[in-house]
Structures are given as structure tokens and as C-alpha cells.
Amino acid sequence: MITFYPGPSKVYPQVAGYAQEAIQSGIVSQNHRSAGFMAVVEETIRLLHEKLAIPADYHIAFASSATECWEIIAQSLTVTSSLHPYGGAFGKKWMEYAHRIKPMILPGEADVLCVVQNETSNGTQVRMDTLAQFRREFTGLIAVDAVSSLGGLAFDWSLADVWFASVQKCLGLPAGLAVLIYSPNALRQAEIINDRQFYNSLLFVHENMEKNQTPYTPNGLGIYLLMKVLEQVPPIAEVDALVRQRAADWYRFLAEETDWRLLIENPEQRSDTVIAVQGSEEDIRAVKTAAQKTGITLGNGYGDWKSNTFRIANFPAIEDWEIEKLKTFLRRYVC
């Protein structure tokens, strides 16, 4: 079965071998404070900096999911409250989650601006020039949810203080691990707040990561697999060029060679990694069923668009021949 589901999505085929290697080598049975496991953590952090072009002074930690990163930001980095401009279901969920921890009083009192860079639910995207405008106009910390774009697109890391993503999308790995990237300014704010009462307090996490350790027993297999995938993938500039070219091809193909309608009409707002296609409920249901019979899984719609869209993941792990097979199916399919 070929999957274009936008998360959890296709895993790099090499991951099966990497998992076997991890078990046979015994690394997944090692204590998380052992020299062997600490070496894996150190190398994974080094590769993240190298392959994703993360600035040397930005810190990196691991979490279980992007949702846990929402919690860390609310508890450890938010003094009063956070501001959440959003255009989709996940941005709204982040706002609701954060405001249960630090309720919004007045928008002017917010000290963290929270932005979903790539909204998986509807295939929209906040581009770097918009983030640059936020950076110029907002004086507090900026936190970016990059769940469906980190590892697929190149970022100007200086435009935000916190970036985070789960690994089951553009990084081509199984779910269960997230990467949290934070600037010196974010660390200073954490030190001022001095939150140490929670399981995932950022200062406690940071102090352990400085020693190439995690505060508690981590997803050791996930970290090892991330290291191995980072070894195999090209630098982010090359991946970014591939993903953007494929996205342009997808949007041209859907507009010119099929009768389907794109959900997002404005090209400037369209995601490069998640493509949302709109139709009637009947047509959407029928095309997903027909695709499944040919061995292709299309992504369901989500939230307000659950029944009238399907989504196509445009992630690096998806291969050219798989894209061509889906295009051939869509050319022949009459809605």
C-alpha cells in the first residue's frame, strides 16, 4: 500500500533495517545515562544542527510529541499568556491547550506569539516573510509549530525563538518522538520564570541535554532512528528544493490535468508539504475508496474540512514512482 496520508506518513524504507540494527547492537537496551547512549544523543544533536542548518547557539531537546511541546512552552516560557493567530484546526487546538494552562486576559499582555508554520488540517502555510513581519512587530518570544514542515523545508531560524515538530511527517519516521529547538533568548526567559515543578520543565530538560542525557528514560529507539535517517538525508537546502519543485508540479497537475478543485485558492497561502483537494462529500468518499482499491491511501480531510477534502502528503520520503502512480490514478479517475 502506497500512503499519501499526511501524518503519520510514509516511513523511509531503510528504517526497518535501522531498527533491526538498533536491537542487534543492543543500543536500545542500554541505560539512557550510559556512555553508549549519550554518544547517540550527542551525534543526533550534531546531525540536526548540520543537516537542518540550525544555528550553533540554538539548543535542541527531545519530547514525546508536538503536543508536549505546546505544554512546555505554556509552562516554562510563558509569563502571562500567549497570542495565537491561526488559520486551521491545529492552531486553534494549540491556543485552547495553552490557554487552559495560562489563560488569556488581554492580547496586549501576551509575551509569547505562537504560530503554526504549516497547517496540516487545511494545507496552508505561513511563509518566512510573514514570520519576519511578526518578528519586527512582536517584542516577546515567537514559537513555531513546524510539525508538517520541519525536515522538508528550509527555515530562517532567527525568525523565532522556539521551533518544534514531531518526526512522523517530513522526517520520515514512526510517531513517538518530537524535536524541540530553542534560542538563547528562550533559555533566558525559562531561567527568569524558573519553572521546575513539572515533569517536562524546560530547565530540567535543558540541564540534562547539556550532558547529552534526557531527564527520564526516553524513546531510545526513536532517537537512534532519527540519527540514522539524518545520516542518509541530504542537507536541508537540497531537500527544500526537491519539496518545493514537487509542490509546484502537484499544484500545476491538479489545476491543469484534473477536474479537482484546490481548497486554498491563493497560491501564496498554499502549503508546500500538504496539498488539500476539495470536492463534494460524495466525490471525496468515492475517490478515496477507488484509490484504496488500487493500493493508494489518500489522506482524509480534517476538522471543518473532514468530509469535503482529501489531502496529499508531499514529504521527502515519498518516492517519484509513487507520485507518478497517484497522478496516473487521478488522470484516469472521473469525479
* Amino acid at site 151: G
For residue 317, give every residue at least 6 positions away whose Cβ sits within 8 Å of its Cβ, in sequence order, or none: 9, 10, 11, 12, 172
Whether 180 and 62 have beta carbons less than 8 Å apart is answered as yes
* Amino acid at site 71: E
SS3 sequence, the chain? CEECCCCCCCCCCCHHHHHHHHHHHCHHHCCCCCHHHHHHHHHHHHHHHHHHCCCCCCEEEEECCHHHHHHHHHHHHCCCCEECCCCCHHHHHHHHHHHHHCCCCCHHHCCEEEEECEECCCCEECCHHHHHHHHHHCCCEEEEECCCCECCECCCHHHCCEEEEECCCCCCCCCCCEEEEECHHHHHHHHHHCCCCCCCCHHHHHHHHCCCCCCCCCCHHHHHHHHHHHHHCCCHHHHHHHHHHHHHHHHHHHHHHCCCEECCCCHHHECCCEEEEECCHHHHHHHHHHHHHCCEECEECCHHHCCCEEEEECCCCCCHHHHHHHHHHHHHCCC
Residues 329, 330, 334, 335: is their CA dihedral positive or negative? Answer: positive
Task: Decide if pLDDT at 296 tops 80.
Answer: yes
Residue 251 and residue 133: Cα distance in Å, rounded? Answer: 27
**What is the pLDDT averaged over residues 245-253?**
98
Residue 93: the pLDDT is 98
pLDDT band with cut points at 50, 70 and 90 for residue 107: confident
Whether 165 and 145 have beta carbons less than 8 Å apart is answered as yes
For residue 210, give every residue at least 6 positions away whose Cβ sits within 8 Å of its Cβ, in sequence order, or none: none
Domains of the chain: 2-8+235-332 (3.90.1150.10), 14-232 (3.40.640.10)
Instruction: Please report, rounded to a whole number, the percentage of residues in the chain having pLDDT higher than 90.
Output: 97
Residue 109: the pLDDT is 87
Q: Which three cell numbers stand for residue 215?
A: 531527564
Residue 48 and residue 226: Cα distance in Å, rounded? Answer: 9
**173 φ/ψ angles, rounded to the nearest 5 degrees:** -130, 165
Strand-strand pairing, 309-313 and 299-300: antiparallel
Residue 298 and residue 116: Cα distance in Å, rounded? Answer: 23
The owner of cell 508531499 is 314
**235 φ/ψ angles, rounded to the nearest 5 degrees:** -60, 155
**What is the pLDDT averaged over residues 286-293?**
97
pLDDT digits (tens, 9 = 90+) for 4-28: 999 899 999 999 999 999 999 999 9
pLDDT digits (tens, 9 = 90+) for 150-201: 999 999 999 999 999 999 999 999 999 999 999 999 999 999 999 999 999 9
